[in-house]
Amino acid sequence: MITEDLADLALPPAKDVVILIADALALGPAYSGNQLNSDNFPAFYDLAVNYPIIALKSSKLSPVENYRALSTGLWPESFKKNEAETYLKSKAWTEFWRHYKKQEVPLKLLAIWDGDDGENTKLLTEFLDTAKRKKITSVSLVLSVAGDGLVDSKWLKKYLQNEWPVTITILAGTNWLNNNNHDWVKTNLSYQAVILGLGTTTQSFNNYWVIAKEDLAPVVLVDSYGQPLSLIDNNDVAVCLGFSNYDWRQLLSSIIKEDWSRFTRLKTVKAVWFSNRLEVNDLPIEVLTANKEVVNKLLITAEETAVVTDAYKLGVMNHGWFNNMKPASLVLINNVVDDEEKISEAKKRTQELLDSSAKVKIINLSWLEQAGRSGSLEEVAKQVRLLDSFMAWLSEKVLVEDSYLLITATYGWLDAVWDERLEQFNWQKNNHNLPLLIVANKLSGKTLGAGESGGELSALPTSGDLTLIGEIIPLLLGQKKDSIENVL
């Protein structure tokens, strides 16, 4: 049973966003066993001291102590089996529900859970059902699925069809991302979940993914580090294909042979994003043909989509991938940008894209992949500064953009060049030092930045779940970012 002191625990002040953690294992600090503090996880630490956090279930590593060390304004409570319902009926929670009902304060809830049909889902269900029983109708629900990327489809469908605005982001958790063998059975199940019309799912393999969505709910597209890729309106449908040498053969084969007809049910293709890791010379010609078939089908249905790609994929261009793009589309070729002259050229060509009339504009800054590929540490640092200057310039352009603008960038060779270089410079493979992307959509009144642009070769938080939290909060609040430096 829940003890009296736990049941009567003082609640934090009501704020715009409440973070609900149905499974504490979804949090990188708890899973890794690291103490959650400003040194180890600065982005999440800053967030945690400003927003209420509810942990409905703890791990063996006891994140209760970790969270308590941060702020008395958190709800770091641990439960034994079947105790959630008792706790939600406690005196403290009664006051919580009364506040949101009486004051008509919107309850914006970011829920993180593992997406299965076990105890954690029951905990989350009890919380949501309690909110309904208390007639808390103004709830904006964001569900971030950690773990294997699998979802209890019946549960998901139920909450997609309720009266609340719901955004679903499903991403592979830490265990999966660090698994070099890749569990293809789980991958296929996760893929089937979205194709069958249950919302949105993300499958992550070494920072690449396949995403499909039907018009059941808004969606935030994320990569494997939890960085948002785009915000798509309720009436829009996006199909984004990201290819890498590790995963795309199996996935594309499945799409072409079995599941393509399911894609045709989608109303409008708004964007197509290409990975920069397409090693054309290593692929058999029949596979290239299959890729071309998929991409051309997507581009035929895309309306007024503009794409900026790079010279790194000229081999792909020569195979005719872009032959069927609409006249309103725009393709620009950017070379590797590693000096002032090339930065100027990149700005010129990017400005041409921004000046175009396309409703959807995609800038794929894959040339960032070349940064740090060779040269001394000093040379790499110079390239980072150049790229930071470009992204600072670009971030100002985003603020006046009236179209959908998706700016994507890879992690670059600064992340994992060669093992010996990583050892030589004491870098961590999962750290990123480049700004990742900016998404602008003035049509919906939201501008969202993502990434860091400090230009320093320093360690950053590596947990995708924590990063996702930091990026979703400004989205929930509808805040605008005036430059990339101000991102959480």
Print pLDDT tens along the chain (488 aa). Answer: 222 332 333 333 444 455 554 444 333 333 333 333 434 333 334 444 444 555 444 333 333 333 332 322 233 333 333 444 555 555 556 666 666 666 555 565 555 554 555 555 666 677 777 777 777 655 555 454 443 334 444 565 565 555 555 444 443 332 332 233 333 333 333 333 332 222 333 333 222 222 322 222 323 333 333 333 333 333 332 333 333 322 333 333 333 333 333 333 333 333 333 333 333 333 332 333 334 444 444 334 334 444 444 333 323 333 333 333 333 344 444 445 557 777 787 777 778 777 766 554 555 554 444 444 445 556 655 665 666 566 667 656 655 555 544 444 433 333 333 333 334 333 333 333 322 333 333 222 323 333 332 222 122 222 222 232 233 223 323 333 332 223 22
Closest CA to 379 of 457, 310, 314, 304: 457
DSSP assignments along 385-400, one per residue: HHHHHHHHHHHHHHTT
- Both tokens of 76, joined, read 């770091």
Kindly report the pTM of this predicted structure: 0.34
Task: Kindly state the tokens that stand for 397.
Answer: 């352009």
User: For strand 331-334 and strand 437-441, is the pairing parallel, antiparallel, or unpaired?
Assistant: unpaired
Q: Find how far residue 126's CA is from the centre of its chain.
A: 26
Give long-range contacts, CB 8 A cutoff, 24+ apart: 314-320.
315/280, 315/281, 316/274, 316/278, 316/280, 319/280, 319/288, 319/292, 320/292
- Rounded CA-CA distance 324/295 in Å is 9
Structure tokens at 3: 């003890």
Side-chain half-sphere of 76: how many Cα atoms within 13 Å?
20
Token pair recorded at residue 435: 């700004």
Are 427 and 377 contacting, i.e. CB atoms less than 8 angstroms apart?
Answer: no
CA distance linking residue 111 with residue 131, whole number of Å: 13
User: Please, what is the Cα angle at 255 between 267 and 113, to 5 degrees?
Assistant: 80
Distance of alpha carbon 68 from alpha carbon 75, whole angstroms: 8
User: What phi, psi does 228 have (nearest 5°)?
Assistant: -65, 135
